[in-house]
Structure 1
Amino acid sequence: MDEINLLDKKVQEYIYEHINADLVELRMKKSPFKNISSLQLVQQIQGKRIAQKKFPILFNNDQIIYPPHLNLEQASSQSTALFKQKIIEGKIGADLTGGMGIDTLFLSENRDKFYYVEPNLNLFNITKHNFKVLKKDNIVLENCSAEEFISKQKTGLDFIFMDPSRRDENKNKKILLEDLCPNVMEIKEQLFKLAPCVYIKLSPLLDIKRSIELLPIQKIYILSVKNEVKELIFKLHIDSFSNNPEIHCINLESNQPSFNFNYNEENRCLCSKLSVPKKYLYMPNASILKSGAFKLLGNSYQLDKLDNNTHIYTLDIKLENFPGRIFKVIDLNFQPNNYDVKKFNIITKNYPLNIDEIKKKYKLLEGGNLYLIFLKAKNKTYKIVCSLV
């Protein structure tokens, strides 16, 4: 990719002007610039468009070059990278799976030295250019694989960060630890020879229980952004063998508090009392749902649970600082004829019909200000109209 041509003022103006254009249509058109293809222009427009929401730190800089879509998709968001910057300590670190460099960009901040490792030469050169534009002088760039880096690196590090690829050579998605590249299971002993702490970014679909059995995990961060689980961060430590890591449930870009506990606490906890729906319903955020801390959450906030398999809680009083959404009950038995409005935000929990079936049966549309929650509580089904508190 010719960086000089892409950074031409007229080319950058074209990219900005077409930020909201139909990319399929643009791809079919002839490029207005000599030596720059339509595909190259579309790649930059697509990158700029994604950066606007995912990593705004890059968006307003017209000297940034964007890599192909898959690299943009695999990169951490700015908010999750900033969170990692806050929790990881040490003066010298390395990102062994550098990619387009978003995590490196934030993790290198205020470090004496930080290594960026990336085997793909094209991606390496793009990121090298971007780091130069951003004046990241403390980053040492290594164009090699993670395995090559750890075999030749002689100097000790304070920490290592990795985001193993979750796709095989045929672009198929992989979830199991042993299927990732680099294979953490195979190189963990070498990693610990270089650094006492290793942080690994992993898929939200990963089995946490199995991972604890396989790796020396000290802490697990379940990171959601606006109530959608985006990534798991495992902190491995050379001396962690307890199989009882700290779990931190975080919902970024919300005002919800974190919910923290030790893994074994959930098993020792008693179940919450089951109850019919009361004045308020409490729905834990996505990070807590992923953690499986259903008994512990209920006990911590002294909540009643609607059903063992319905992970919604209830109380007659409104709590402050609950890590999730709170709904005020308006009607416990929704009847369509009682409502002029036909638009609801529909939620189902442990209910025999899915959302599409409910919309068809009751002739409803999605949207509006009210919520319609279909659920089971104490072996009885409810159709509850609520407002979000």
Structure 2
Amino acid sequence: MGLDKFLREEVQDYISQHQHYDITKILFTKSPFADITIQELAQQLKGKKTAEKKFPFLDVAGIVFPPNLNLEQASSQATADYKSKLFAGEHLLDLTSGFGIDAFWLGKGFSEITLVERNTELLNIVKHNWHILSSKKTHYINGSLEDFLKTNNQQYSMVYLDPARRDEHNRKKFLLEDLSPNLLEVKDEILQFTSRLVVKLSPLMDISMLITQLPEIKEIYIIAVKNEVKELLLVIEKAYKGEVDLTCVNLESTDSEFNFCYSELKQNVYGYSSSDKYLYLPNHAVLKSGAFNLLSQRFSLHKLDVNTHFYTSANLYQDFPGRVLEVQMVDAKAISKNEKYNIISKNYPLTPEQIKKKYKIKDGGKQYLIFTQAQGKKVILKSN
């Protein structure tokens, strides 16, 4: 795909004027440009629209966007920006560049960047965009990771790796040995030319299994955005054999970070009780970490039930990593028909949809109704 044709003034004007149009409808129209298909224009419009929310730093004139799959697989600006504050050094190597979002932001802490990408068209797009956005010294290598490993003789401050998590049939993979590249096979080879390997993985991967299979892990970041866990970030250091530190972060929220050592997960729960004045709902990054008992110990909170990861206390802790509601227990008969509530159902036999139908209530409003269990009994809690 030649990029120059997208940079003509009349094409840039078209993209700017139509970026909020229905792309499906545009695909049924004829391209106004003889050398650009309507599908190519739709691709640029889709990229422009995606950039507005996912990576707004790219929502500028002259940026060229890749196919939709590359947009979907790219990190968001929010997660990339967070990661950029964690690392610094002389020379960053990204072995799986893709659309280059992570490398662009991580590179802010490095003097020099090398990108490796096997997709020629994608790498040309990244090179073009970076010439607009950055003056950072960057090397672009069009080739496979495997070929690079065979020929590389240079040392790097840090290597970044985002293995493909889908197979040739587009099925998701959740084991290290099923990823491409297989991290278990390439890890030792990579650590020959860097002291730090940082790996982005699916949030669905099992943390305890990762720690068992990769003994050099020093840190794990569980990164959520607006309470949706987006990724696990592993920091692997050559010859490291110490404790693993975990950080749970919920970006674009007011939640505090939650940090702990992996061995602390062995702690017993602080205790169990029925609901008190405040109900504590951990964010999803903390829940992914499995720190259910540790959370209760850290904040002196009682759990409602063994299988209910809600906590309670008479005291208010402002730095709790999640939502805190002031609640009271209510009888089912006290729920008024047609009232609006935000409904939460955890460890309860009915789903929110079934609850709405049974009690004839609607979604919305400022108050919460929480249907759950406390000490083996079904309870209904209402926020004040």
Deviation at 1:97, TM superposition (A): 0.5
Query: Is the CA contact 2:369–2:380 (under 8 Å) kept in the aligned structure 1?
Result: yes
2:314 to 316, 336, 347: 316
- Cα deviation digits, residues 42-89 of structure 1 (max 9, x gap): 111111111111111111x11100011111111111111111111113
Residue in 2 that maps onto 1:212 = 211
CA distance in 2, matches of 1:365, 1:71: 39
Summarize the alignment of residues 214-253 of structure 1 with structure 2, pairs less than 5 Å apart: 214-215=213-214, 216-242=216-242, 244-253=243-252
Match of 1:91, SS? strand
CA distance in 2, matches of 1:343, 1:305: 28
**Unpaired runs of 5+ in structure 2?**
none
In structure 2, relative to structure 1, the CA distance for the partners of 1:339 and 1:45 (3 Å cut) is same
Q: Which amino acid aligns with 1:21?
A: Y
Aligned length: 383
Deviation at 1:128, TM superposition (A): 1.0
Q: Which amino acid aligns with 1:7?
A: L
Superposed CA RMSD? 1.5
CA distance in 1, matches of 2:335, 2:186: 63
CA distance in 1, matches of 2:352, 2:177: 36
Summarize the alignment of residues 135-284 of structure 1 with structure 2, pairs less than 5 Å apart: 135-215=134-214, 216-242=216-242, 244-267=243-266, 269-284=267-282
CA distance in 1, matches of 2:166, 2:135: 29
Which range moved further: 352-361 or 292-301?
352-361
Query: Is the CA contact 1:334–1:384 (under 8 Å) kept in the aligned structure 2?
Result: no
Deviation at 1:349, TM superposition (A): 0.9
In structure 2, relative to structure 1, the CA distance for the partners of 1:190 and 1:338 (3 Å cut) is closer
Q: Which amino acid aligns with 1:278?
A: D
Deviation at 1:351, TM superposition (A): 0.6
Deviation at 1:35, TM superposition (A): 1.2
Q: Which amino acid aligns with 2:11?
A: V
Deviation at 1:338, TM superposition (A): 4.4
Query: Is the CA contact 1:91–1:112 (under 8 Å) kept in the aligned structure 2?
Result: yes
Query: Is the CA contact 1:333–1:385 (under 8 Å) kept in the aligned structure 2?
Result: no
Which range moved further: 298-307 or 354-363?
354-363
Query: Is the CA contact 1:219–1:236 (under 8 Å) kept in the aligned structure 2?
Result: yes
Which range moved further: 222-231 or 102-111?
102-111
Residue in 1 that maps onto 2:353 = 356
Query: Is the CA contact 1:150–1:194 (under 8 Å) kept in the aligned structure 2?
Result: no
1:302 to 300, 303, 307: 300
Q: Which amino acid aligns with 1:97?
A: T
CA distance in 2, matches of 1:42, 1:65: 12
CA distance in 2, matches of 1:110, 1:37: 39
Deviation at 1:277, TM superposition (A): 0.8
Identity %: 43
Query: Is the CA contact 2:89–2:158 (under 8 Å) kept in the aligned structure 1?
Result: yes
Deviation at 1:12, TM superposition (A): 2.0
Residue in 2 that maps onto 1:6 = 6
- Cα deviation digits, residues 158-197 of structure 1 (max 9, x gap): 1100111111112221111111111111111111101011
Match of 2:286, SS? helix
Match of 1:173, SS? coil
CA distance in 2, matches of 1:10, 1:357: 54
Query: Is the CA contact 1:328–1:386 (under 8 Å) kept in the aligned structure 2?
Result: yes
2:283 to 260, 282, 285: 285
Match of 2:185, SS? helix
Q: Which amino acid aligns with 1:323?
A: P
Residue in 1 that maps onto 2:364 = 367
CA distance in 1, matches of 2:151, 2:356: 60
**Unpaired runs of 5+ in structure 1?**
none
Q: Which amino acid aligns with 1:165?
A: A
Deviation at 1:24, TM superposition (A): 1.4
Deviation at 1:17, TM superposition (A): 2.4
- Cα deviation digits, residues 238-284 of structure 1 (max 9, x gap): 12234x410111111122211111111111x1212111111110001
User: TM-score, normalised to structure 2's length?
Assistant: 0.96
For the pair 1:68 / 2:67, whether they are aligned, the reply is yes
CA distance in 2, matches of 1:175, 1:110: 30
User: TM-score, normalised to structure 1's length?
Assistant: 0.95
Deviation at 1:330, TM superposition (A): 4.4
Deviation at 1:316, TM superposition (A): 1.5
Q: Which amino acid aligns with 2:235?
A: K
CA distance in 2, matches of 1:115, 1:24: 37
Residue in 2 that maps onto 1:326 = 324
Q: Which amino acid aligns with 1:22?
A: D
CA distance in 2, matches of 1:288, 1:153: 39
Match of 2:379, SS? strand
CA distance in 2, matches of 1:363, 1:142: 61
Query: Is the CA contact 2:117–2:143 (under 8 Å) kept in the aligned structure 1?
Result: yes
Query: Is the CA contact 2:113–2:136 (under 8 Å) kept in the aligned structure 1?
Result: no
Summarize the alignment of residues 107-122 of structure 1 with structure 2, pairs less than 5 Å apart: 107-122=106-121
Deviation at 1:341, TM superposition (A): 4.7
CA distance in 2, matches of 1:385, 1:73: 38
Deviation at 1:334, TM superposition (A): 4.1
Match of 1:109, SS? helix
